Structure 1
Amino acid sequence: MKRLVCSLLCLAFVNLCAAQTTLPEFGVFTEAEKSIRECPFDKEADAVVILDEATADHDDQYRLIFTRRTRLKILKPKGNRYGDIAIRYYTKDDAEYISDIEAYTCNPNSGGAIKKVPQSAIFRQKINDRWSAVKIAMPEVQPGTIIEYKYINTAKNYSFLDDWYFQGELPVMHSHFWLSIMPNYEFTYRVYKSDQLPITIKKEKEGRVYYEMNNIAGLRDEPYMDAEKDYLQHVEFQLSGYQGMFGGTIHYMTNWDEVAREIMTQPSYGGQLNKNIPVEPEWLIKVKAIAPAYDRMAAVYNFVYKNLNWNGINSRGAVDGVKETWEKKQGSSGDINLLLINLLKETGLETYPLLVSERGHGKVNAELPFIDQFNKTMACVVIDGKKYVLDATGPYTPAFMIPFSVINTKALLVNKKKSSIISLIETEKRDRNFVNIQAWIDDNGGISGKAYIQSKDYARLTRMRAWQRDKDRFRDNYYTIYETGLKVDSLELLNLENDSLPLEQKFNFSIPPSTSGDYKLVNLNLFSGVAKNPFISDIRFTNIDFGCLQSHSVIEYIELPASLKIETLPKNIRMIMPDTSITFMRIMEAKDNMLQVKYEINFMRPVFTADEYEYVKEFYKKMASIMNEQIVLRKP
């Protein structure tokens, strides 16, 4: 992935001569488009975007006028869902409004009839207090249908300018974007694109810039995929300067200190710090009296987490304000975590706002001072030189652990004296499971037994959340998936309320016999964390991100009946990746009527690049095959 960072006013363009394609008129469909049966550069695609074009301009009130037109074709029955069009827009304080909505469909398989979608099939739907959507009910969508729609989004100002994505889940044949800059303003932009895909960039007079890309395959979901944004071809924008009242250009946010100073001047961010939160005075006095700084921090963090509800809105800064959030006991992530920072500082703890980019949002490039690289604020508390990262929204994480969503990412520590990019590295806590199985095999080859599992660190958090979300699915995801017909009963979870102890799971299980003639086949890969190989695709576009280090250990004691003897016992084996990043071991030992089995899997790093995919894929393939290798029993 190559990242190009350019300034609109001082850019040595690689390609100034954009070959701007002549596009068909809106609602007019060509014979070439009607004859498309599959996307030539992405043959697996269920649909294809034929063209996607937009213009960002301004009116005499300097409002942002964003005009967009999109045309796509359905190729397969699974692609029918792309006929459900929804255009989201921000409605709080009338910030945005969608107008001039038009749509057409063309069905070449039904005589090529072109139909204009009636206004009665275009409607608005309120999502919540801040967001609404325009929905278009496209008629008679089926494989072969061509869909086209356009609209205008009028926003209050250029702060609503979004990044432009040339690529998405669907392949795109042609995409271009015109950006017009307001007089006396400067924008910095950066282009994310693959080395193999060319881009056309053309700067014209009066601050107009044109971007174009063509024939881009779709980026679909891949197992253990990190942020989609890091791989999509797109261009990002940020206001970088403006002309002062007395002439000359005033530049800002050109380094991280300037970014921090800028955000601290904003009423929704710096203006929310050092506020007097009206908590119970007795509670505050009691917490301030806690001598160990860590315990004091944990007390404040747990208090905020338990007493305030996250409304599902992620924000860097406050949306309603910390005082209103305290009154309503509900707010955005920015509201709640800025309130948390206030209370931490009130109790005498060294605390800083921490701008983070969660794993799903994208990686932070430390060399580029772009504020939009971050999607959330968390609290950073420094105790005896150690940094603790706290997030009082989303899934609960103990104060001594880095939230899973930001492990191994970069963040901006906002400090009035000296802000800096820091790395949130976790080398001790991991996804750690220990499985102990006591079981016996009956005369027919069926298995019955008891399992005891300890889940520590991030494994504990993941399983607790899964259990609280859906107890039936929890059984399927962690236990019954390993063998057809496997049943679990008497499930008991212990230590649900104690963060410092592993989550213990105890249950009984049974597996029906599997026979082949006189032979009994037994698969002893149980509850190991590797039921099957998730990496089956021949190609990989994104990095493999497991999130954190992993360690899984399984020990099984299996009692055999006198009526059955081991015909085939798989060999002991040990596998190691060339760089020792993943290790696997299986040991089997049979003595008298007892069989002892041990599996160990360790991941010594959490991220593998797309270039390493073949190594990881082959390792997983062999490991899954070995773990699912059956033991053969038969009557002597």
Structure 2
Amino acid sequence: MKTKNLILFLFLFLFFFNANAQEFKLGKVSIAELEQKVHPKDTAAVAAILFKKGETRFEYSQGKGFEMVTKVKIRVKIYKKEGYDWANQSVQYYLGNDLKESVSFSDAITFNLVGGKIEKTKLKSDGEFDEKTDKYWGRKKIAMPNVKEGSVVEFEYAIRSARIGELKEWFFQTSIPVDHSEFITYIPEYFVYNPNQKGFVVPKVTVVKNQKTISIMSKERTGFTTSKTTYSEDKIDYSETQTTYLAENLPAMKEEAFVNNIDNYTSSVSHELAMTNFPNSPTELYSTDWESVAKKIYYNDDFGPELNKTVYFEDDLKAIVTGLAKQDEIILAVLNYVKSTVKWNEYNGYSCNDGVKKAYKDKTGNVAEINLMLAAMLRTAGLKANPVLVSTRANGISIFPNRGAFNYVIAAVETVQV
């Protein structure tokens, strides 16, 4: 009799647990989630992330080698009209050279409770937008349909990238409460990344090893008068490290009066490529120092070489500085000329989009074009001027040396005290 009662208790317990456990799968929105009027732990919240699950895997193809594929699934609850912006999402992606990234959205649905029943409204093509923000970056956007107070919206996006230098930073926290945040990385043994965590909420981390296999096809032709093609398949086994970062019940990060960038204190994890170690190849180290980062940026075609272009402004510069002897007068004259001649197009960055010559001709340019032009003019006028890489507050504080640590460039000139 006791055994039967125990079995019945366990059955009821498991049934109750499964019935009440939140389903972290897209399309499984519950009536309870739609009926919820306020967040249980933050009644002032305008919205909340019910779950955010992401993973980054490395996929291999013979033509391209390894590529990173990041998939993210998100479910958001809208409590108030002020939270409607959370139904509009955007993902930035890289456009430059042969390392272009691609972004796609899927399974984007708005759920509402109508007459006690769940009503679904799928995202249509007119709610999806793609814009090119500059020469190197684009942004894919969605605007979810039929959003109301009480709606639940969910969607998935995927990013395919050959830029293996660093993984996309994963933020566990944001400006609204987050009930469940989970990020999993699947990294082949050929890549070694240094994970860097920040923030005051530390996620639970678990690591397991998986065995994976790569199949490589090859063909061989034999014969002279009558050729024959034979195909063969080679398999390479390797180890994969699966790391799971899990955090739950994260409070909203609120802006503070004396905090210049709240992201510096927001719980997140980033990964820097430290080395690669491929079969039959020497180990290649990638972790670097700030001096190496500065050199890479300087010798990029869109930075250092732009400083050497001077013909386009030389005649104008002569007219500007003629009759000026003091260095302070020359500096001020050149600065005011550039400010009044070339307008900022509201794009930041340390790389030129169209180049200093075109920016001068069109009288408009980004931060790099204007300030590299200014530095070049000051040099041509006989002053010791150099570009200086900086990071704006919005760009945050970098944990490790990398080019993304900078997003702005200014011109600095050394003056001689008399």
Q: Helix, strand or coil: the match of 2:148? A: coil
1:136 counterpart residue number: 143
> Normalized against structure 1, the TM-score is what?
0.51
Quote the residue 1:177 is aligned against.
183
Higher RCO structure, 1 or 2 (CA under 8 Å, sep 6+): 2
- Report matched runs for 1:307-326 at 5 Å: 307-326=341-360
Query: Is the Cα contact below 8 Å between 2:75 and 2:155 reproduced in 1?
Result: yes
Q: Is the 8 A contact 2:90 2:141 kept in 1?
A: yes
Aligned counterparts of 2:278 and 2:382: Cα–Cα separation in 1: 41
Q: Distance in 1 between matches of 2:315 and 2:368?
A: 24
Displacement of 1:345? 1.9
Does the Cα contact within 8 Å between 2:202 and 2:267 map onto a contact in 1? no
Instruction: For 1:50 and 1:344, locate their aligned partners in 2 and report how far apart those are by CA, in whole Å.
Output: 55
Counterpart residue identity of residue 374, structure 1:
F
Q: Which amino acid counterpart does residue 69 of structure 1 have in structure 2?
A: K
Aligned to 2:384: 350
2: CA distance, partners of 1:362 / 1:74: 28
Q: Distance in 2 between matches of 1:232 and 1:160?
A: 19
1:85–1:308 Cα change, 3 Å: same
Give the counterpart of 2:334 among 300, 321, 325.
300
Q: Which residue of 2 aligns with 1:379?
A: 411
Q: CA deviation at 1:304?
A: 1.6
2:204 maps to which residue?
200
- Distance in 1 between residues matched to 2:71 and 2:413, nearest whole Å: 45
Letter in 2 for 1:44: A
> What are the residue-to-residue correspondences of 1:48-59 with 2, within 5 Å?
48-59=48-59
Instruction: For 1:246 and 1:165, locate their aligned partners in 2 and report how far apart those are by CA, in whole Å.
Output: 37
- Contact 1:96–1:156 (Cα < 8 Å) also in 2: yes
1:111 matched to 2:111? The reply is: no
Aligned counterparts of 2:204 and 2:53: Cα–Cα separation in 1: 14
% identity of equivalent residues: 25
- Quote how far apart the aligned CAs of 1:208 are: 4.2
* One of 62, 65, 69 as aligned partner of 1:65: 69
Are positions 1:101 and 2:106 aligned together?
A: yes
Counterparts of 1:199 and 1:306, CA distance in 2: 51
- CA distance, structure 1, for counterparts of residue 133 and residue 406 of structure 2: 24
| Alignment check: 8 A CA contact 2:52 2:181 kept | yes
Distance in 2 (CA, whole Å) between partners of 1:75 and 1:200 is 29
Match of 2:250 among 205, 216, 219: 216
Alignment partners' CA distance in 1, 2:93 and 2:32: 34
Take 2:363 and 2:277, find their aligned partners in 1: how far apart are those partners?
Answer: 42
The secondary structure found in structure 2 opposite 1:360 is helix
Deviations 1:35-88 (A, max 9, x none): 543323322101110111222334422444222211011123433343334445
Distance 1:212 1:287, change over 3 A: farther
Aligned partner of 1:135: which letter?
I
Unmatched tracts of structure 1, length 5 or more: 1-20, 387-636
Verify: 1:276 aligned to 2:280, yes or no.
no
Q: Distance in 1 between matches of 2:23 and 2:311?
A: 58
Whether the 8 Å CA contact 1:288–1:348 is kept in 2: the answer is: no
Letter in 1 for 2:103: I
How far, CA to CA, are the matches of 2:241 and 2:381 in structure 1? Answer: 51
2:173 counterpart of 1:167: yes
Q: How many residues align?
A: 361
Gaps of 5+ in 2: 1-20, 210-239
Question: Which residue type is aligned with residue 111 of structure 1?
Answer: G
Does residue 153 of the first structure (1) align with residue 159 of the second (2)?
yes
Out of 298, 301, 316, which is 1:267 matched to? 301
Partner secondary structure for residue 394 of structure 2: coil
Classify the secondary structure of the residue corresponding to 1:138.
coil
Residue 282 (structure 1) shift = 5.2
Residue identity matched to 2:102: Y
Matched residues in 2 for 1:305 and 1:105: separation? 48
Q: Is the 8 A contact 1:109 1:144 kept in 2?
A: no
Task: Identify the residue that residue 39 of structure 1 maps to in structure 2.
Answer: 39
* Higher gyration radius (CA): 1
Q: Secondary structure at 1:48's aligned position in 2? A: strand
- Deviation by residue 1:293-324 (Cα, 9 ceiling, x = unmatched): 22222222222222112111111222222233
SS of 1:297 mapped into structure 2:
helix
